[in-house]
Structures are given as structure tokens and as C-alpha cells.
Structure 1
Amino acid sequence: MDERLAAWWRLRQVRGVGVTTLYQLREQLGSLDALLACTSDELLALGLQPAAVQQYQQQPLTDVFYALLDWQAEPGQGVLTCDDSRYPTALASLSDAPLWLYWRGNPALLQQPLVAMVGSRNPTPYARDWARQCAADLARAGVCVVSGMALGIDAAAHQGALDSGGSTVAVLGCGADVVYPKRHRQLYNRIRQQGLVLSELPAGTQPQASFFPGRNRIVSGLCQAVVVVEAAIKSGSLITARLAAQQGREVMALPGAVTNPLAAGCHQLIRDGALLVRDAEDILQELALFDLTAPPAPVSASSTATATPTTASPAAPALVTELDFASTTSLDVLAIRTGESVSSLMANLLELELEGWLVQEPGGYRRLR
């Protein structure tokens, strides 16, 4: 049995001892191992109340703790403690950083540059496509995309990173073995196989509204920056952005139509000083990161991505500039704008669609990037 983990788990069960107190104790002790050797007098000297010391020493180990040990024993998953070399330095710097995280997948991904992407659960097609494309470009540049596996922007960000052959981290507001929402079963399995699933909650814990603020602080705390893609004035995404600012992280936002209420939160963030971003290159340049054109480096348990200089994205073809992001443009309108024949346009549009510049929808075509 892991006696060190058992000691901290018992202390965590003591009434009145919260995460911040635990982290402060760890800072005073210098390591997780030091708690095992502490006498009652030493624990009192560290600031614990006599009743808390007594409860800690008498606290029995329960089935919940033994379930934690069982979780650790399974291949492809484990418990990452805050003094593990794989625990992200950025997250460890927080006063309320989790003492341990349950994980499934590849924890070596936490050593890559990490950028979070959050936003509306019911985004416009423009925002969903932008998030997917931006996440793909970031992943190809060696950045690991972090989000919360929620509907909408979260899912698009995870999918974009995975589809590009890159990496992604999903931080859950439930146990790391619980799929929420249930319709994301396939996405969860892809992330587990190609990325990393994280949670501070014990395995089997079902989602509750009270768990999501804690999830959000981990999402922002892991990362160098948080990118908000469509968010109403009152939304969880803006809470994540505020947490990021308090944690000293970069906050970035995608602008949208001024008449779109889902863009109002992003516009407010930009007015308050968040960086306006147009594409992945803006994010990479701001963070002095990687080349958009470089293929993603495979990440094993002992390898991390290698930096290369940033280069400009290719300019949009002339035909693409005739399309709108937020609405479809009909083939007849395109023929009028360009002066080309419909047959010529259809051949060019098909080629551009295969290259990822646009998408065909009922009524016409819409620009993606």
C-alpha cells in the first residue's frame, strides 16, 4: 500500500481541512513524504487544530481509498501526485492545486505546451468550425489542446486536435471513468487512446453542477493561455477566463458578429484587455511557440515536442475571399461576384473544400478559414 498517499488521503477527510490547507501544509513540509514522519506536536506547530490532528490520526481508510489503489493498479491509468515529475509546473504553482489527479491515457502530454479552448455549448457553425480548425493547427504545431469535453466548442476543440494527429487533454467535472455527456462516448474513447483524461474526483463520481468550477480552475491552471470561442455574458466560459486572469494566464477571445449574443462575452473580454485572435498563428505568435506547418511530433512516455520557428499561414485563395464565415453564399451569387461559369466554379470549389478552406451546406458554400 502507498503509505504516503494514505496519509494525505486521511488528512483530506478531516473536517475543516480543505485543498488550500493541504497545499499549504505540503509547502511547509517540502514534500508529500514528510507527512508520514510528523508527530502530533509537529502537526500542531504547522497550524492544525488539536481536534483535526486527533481525527487525522484516527481516520480509518475506507473503500473509497482502496478504490483509488485499485485504479492505480490498472494499465493505462493512474494517480498523478503533485510531487510527480509529470505533474505540470503551471498547475502546481496554484494555491488550490489538486494534491493528486486521476488520469487515463498518456500523462507525458502534460509536458507539451498547453492551450485551453472553451466556449458555448450551442455555438454557431462558424464558431464550431473555427474551433476545430484552430485546434487542428495548434496541434500540428506541437501544442496540446485542453478543454472540458462538454458539448459545442469543447468537443470541436478535442476533435480538431485529434483529427490532425495531435494531442488533447480533457478535464472532467466527474470521475475520470465517467462519460459526460453520454453522447461523447466515442470522443471519450478517442481521447483516452490518443490523449489524456484528467479529474480530481474519485472514479465513479457522477457530474454535479458544484464540480464544474473546480474543473474549470484545472483547465485554466494547466495552460499558458485560455482561448474563448463564443460565450454569452453569463457563461461558464467567462468564469474560466476570469480564473485564468487571476492565475496569471493569457486570456484570448475570438470576435464575432456584434448582433450575436453568443459573442457578447468575447467582446467584453476583448474590451477588458483579452487578446483578439483571428487564427492559431495569432496564438502561437503571442506565446512564442511553434510552426503551423510542422507535423506533430509523436509523444511517448519519455518524449516531448520540439520547438521550431513560427511561419505565416498561407494566404486565402481569391475564390475563398468571396465567401462569408457566418452564412452561406449561393453558387449563383458566386458566379456574379467572380464572373466565372458555374461549371468552372464547382470544380474549383470542390478542390478548395478538399483543402479545408470551405464547406458546402444547404443553399451554398461557407468559408472555414
Structure 2
Amino acid sequence: MSESCGLESWLRLTLAAGVGLETQRALLTAFGLPEAVFASGRSAIATRFGPRVAEALFDDALEPAIAAGLEWADKPGNRLLSLADPDYPPQMLQSADPPTLLYLKGRAELLARDSLAIVGSRDATAQGIANAEAFAETLSRSGLAIVSGLALGIDAAAHRGGLRGDGGTIALIGTGADRIYPARNAELAREIAERGVVVSEFPLGTPPLRANFPRRNRLIAGLARGTLVVEAALQSGSLITARLAGELGRDVFAIPGSIHSPLSKGCHQLIREGAKLVESAQDIAEEIGWAKNLEPAAASGPAGSADEERLLATMGFDPVDADTLCERSKLTPDALFAMLLALELAGRVARLPGGRFARLP
């Protein structure tokens, strides 16, 4: 049977309304590959799975969606990957509810690489974004693929860092592979499709439905050999990803933060529950037996003036407003802002919303 005919059967199986993953796997167990499922006939399926399932599988209304899927898969860089495909990532088979069919856009070979998931808050701090990028870049340069969910904040930072290394990056998304969400990450998504890979289990055209993102999180946890949470509030989806990773026996890592920051509380909770506290990419590499692949740490950049170094020490590592900095440093506002501007241009301080500033590593 031709490849297109085989894909047509996989598409029909996964596009049938109300036929979920559990029923799809039961059908495959009962009859074999999708071609055999449909060759068995409507009556045999109805006898074993009920008339509703049989009607859904043989619904003629599926034809346009099947044709659209085949047309999409025929475009350069696109691919449909079924459970029976030898390139289906074995680690994902161990995840909860492995998808019957994956839609890939980009470098499919990245799915076979060892990988680390990096996740965290959409409303990340400047420090959190810098940490995510730095960890991702260092680990990607060592050959690990960086897995995340293409959300704003930590996810996007992790993808950017991953693209700067040989390991590349894998974006698991909660929409159809032909949709970009959020729109602010459109350019990043295009870059990942060119140099990394975008992966979805959802049919083409699927919009960003709230229920789809927790499902996406199980695939992030299932694909990677470990998950790093950079920043997360207590009610964060990143904690779901971390706990799913733990349930699969994968490593869970968390970066600690300020006791005053709501975005540190989720990480601190994970650490209390057994996640490994990490302060550097080296900590992760040593834990997973990857340290030999790490490049030597780059030397620090040139130090600033003595006054700038004193100001940085005064700032600490929590976001702080200008009035508080004036009071702590005893500098005049003009002198303080001149120094902050120099430090910002040097990449050592970030300006945050609300007139606050944060020290960067």
C-alpha cells in the first residue's frame, strides 16, 4: 500500500469525531494498522466498539480534512509521524497517552536526540529570562536538544537559547501545526520551523483551546529526559509538567529564587517535594551524566567601575525601584540613573515595568 494511502488511514483514524486516543489504541490492538481497521468494515467495528464509533470512522465529512492533511504533509519541511513509524520517539511512547499521529514542521531528526525541557512562567522576570536563555544555550551547545512549549516568557527564552547551540530546540504546541500561538512568537516559531522542529498532536486548524495546553505539557515531560523549571507561581502549568516528568521517572530540576517573589514559590515547592536545586547548567549535566559534553565556562566580561560594582552589590538580586536604590546607595537621582543606564547598556542590569531594576548574571 502506498505511503499516502497509509497516511490517509492514520488521518481518518485520528480525525474521527469522538474517537479519542484510548479508543484509537484499542482499535489498533484489535485490528492492526489503520488500513486493517478500515478493511475490517463498518459492521465488525460496530460489533466491537459500538455504532457511534463505526459511524464516526466512516463519515464522508472527514474527506476534506484528510485531503488537507495530506496536502500539508506533502510540503517541504512538513511530516506526519505515526505510532508505527520507526522514527517515532521511543521516549514519547512512555508518556501518558502517546499521540497516535504527530504533525512535524522542521527537523524531525531532533526528536531522536537526548533532550531537556525548560519551562516556566509566561510573566517571567528579566532575571528568569536571562537564566532560561543561558541554561538553554549552554546545554544546547553540549548537544542536548531543548524542549519547551512556545509560550511567552521562559518558554520563548529557552527556545532562543536552544537555537544558539548544536542541540537545537523542539517546540511542542497546543494548537494545530499550521497555527501560531501566541502571535507575538510568530517570528520565533518560523525560526524554530527552519532550524529546530515544531510538533503538534492536534489536527490542522485547531485553535488555542485552554484544555489543549495541559495535554501539550504531558508531551513536553514525556519527550525530555529531564525538566528544568526556571520560574513558576504555585498555580503554574509548569508545575504540572514537572510532576508529570517525575511520575515518568525523569529528572526534575528547579532554580531557587527570592523568598519574596511569587514566581519563586513554585520552584521552592518543587524543591521541597524532591526536585534537584540547580544553580548552573553544570549541575544538570552532572546529574544526568552529560558533564563531559559541556564546553568550558566562558570567562566573565570586564568588570565595571568601582562605583558600578558597589551599586550592583547594593541592588542585590531582587527587583528594586529607583527610590530604594537612591536610599541604599546614597547617590543622587542623576548619578544613579547615569550609572544604571551604563549598566543596562553593558547587559548587567535590566529595566522592569513599574520603574524597577534587576541585576543580571
Give aligned-pair identity as a percent.
39
Amino acid at match of 1:6: E
Q: Deviations over 1:220-252 (max 9, x none)?
A: 111111111111111111121222222332211
**Inter-partner Cα distance in structure 1 for 2:100 and 2:261:** 41
Partner of 2:25: 23
Counting only pairs closer than 5 Å after superposition, residues 270-289 of structure 1 correspond to structure 2 as 270-289=271-290
Q: Is the 8 A contact 2:78 2:103 kept in 1?
A: yes
Q: Is the 8 A contact 2:233 2:264 kept in 1?
A: yes
Q: Which residue of 2 aligns with 1:10?
A: 12
TM-score (norm 1): 0.78
Residues 116 and 147 in structure 1, CA contact (< 8 A), matched pair in contact too: yes
Alignment-derived partner of residue 58 in structure 1: 58
Q: Write out per-residue CA displacement over residues 108-150 of structure 1, whole angstroms, 9 at most, x where no aligned residue.
A: 0111111111101111111110001000001001000011111
Aligned to 1:162: 163
Alignment of 1:100-249 (within 5 A): 100-164=101-165, 166-249=167-250
Residues 192 and 261 from structure 1, CA distance in 2 versus in 1: closer, same or farther, beyond 3 angstroms? same
Q: Displacement of 1:59 after TM fit?
A: 2.7
Matching residue of 2:37: 35
The alpha-carbon distance between structure 1 residues 39 and 178, as it changes in their structure 2 partners (threshold 3 A), is: closer
Alignment partner, residue 49 of structure 1: 49
**Amino acid aligned to 1:72:** A
**Matched residues in 2 for 1:249 and 1:103: separation?**
24
Contact (CA 8 Å) 1:125, 1:326: kept in 2 or not? no
| Closer/same/farther in 2, CA of residues 53 and 179 from structure 1, 3 Å limit | closer
**1:65 Cα deviation from its structure 2 partner:** 1.1
Distance 1:92 1:274 in 2: 24
Q: Is the 8 A contact 2:285 2:294 kept in 1?
A: no
Shift of 1:167: 0.5
Give how far 1:203 is off: 2.1
Structure 1 residues 223, 26: CA separation in 2 closer, same or farther (over 3 Å shift)? farther
| Count of residues in correspondence between the two structures | 337
Q: Specify the SS of the correspondent of 2:160.
A: helix
- In the TM superposition, residue 27 of structure 1 has moved relative to its aligned partner by 4.9
1:16–1:75 Cα change, 3 Å: closer
Equivalent in the alignment of 2:333 = none
SS at match of 2:206: coil
- Please give the per-residue CA displacement for 1:137-194, whole angstroms capped at 9, x wherever unaligned: 0100100001111110001101111134540011111111212111112111111111
Q: 1:273 to 1:208 in 2, by over 3 A?
A: same
Determine the C-alpha separation between the residues in 2 that align with 1:216 and 1:227: 13
Structure-2 separation of matches of 1:292 and 1:315: 18
Shift of 1:275: 1.0
TM-score (structure 2 length as normaliser): 0.80
Q: Which residue of 2 aligns with 1:302?
A: none
Between 1:70-79 and 1:36-45, the stretch displaced more is 36-45
Q: CA RMSD in A?
A: 3.7
Structure in which a larger fraction of residues adopt helix: 2
CA offsets 1:49-70 (integer angstroms, 9 cap, x no match):
2425642663324211111101
List per-residue Cα deviations over 1:266-289 (Å, max 9, x = no partner): 111110111111111111111112
Q: Distance in 2 between matches of 1:224 and 1:172?
A: 19
Which runs of no fewer than 5 residues in structure 2 stay unpaired? 330-338
Tell me the distance in 1 between the aligned counterparts of 2:158 and 2:180.
Answer: 17
Within a 5 Å distance, the mapping from 1:246-285 to structure 2 comes to 246-285=247-286
The alignment partner of 1:233 has SS state of coil
8 Å Cα contact 2:96/2:218 also seen in 1: no
User: Using the alignment, how far apart are the partners of 2:256 and 2:32 within structure 1?
Assistant: 44
Structure 2 counterpart of 1:338: none
Q: What residue identity is the alignment partner of 1:55?
A: E
Residue in 1 that maps onto 2:89: 88
Change in Cα spacing, 1:8 to 1:88, as seen in structure 2 (3 Å) is same
Deviation at 1:11, TM superposition (A): 3.7
Q: In structure 2, how many angstroms separate the alpha carbons of the residues matched to 1:160 and 1:236?
A: 21
1:14 to 1:367, Cα distance in 2 relative to 1, 3 A: closer
Look up the SS of the partner of 1:288 in the other structure.
Answer: coil
Aligned in 2, Cα 1:32/1:224: closer, same or farther, shift over 3 Å? farther
Partners of 2:229 and 2:238 within 8 A in 1: yes
Partners of 1:106 and 1:203 lie apart in 2 by: 19
Letter in 1 for 2:92: L
- Partner AA of 1:130 in structure 2: N
1:339-358 pair list within 5 angstroms: 358=348
Change (3 A) 1:184 1:58: closer
| Cα distance in structure 2, aligned partners of 1:104 and 1:293 | 28
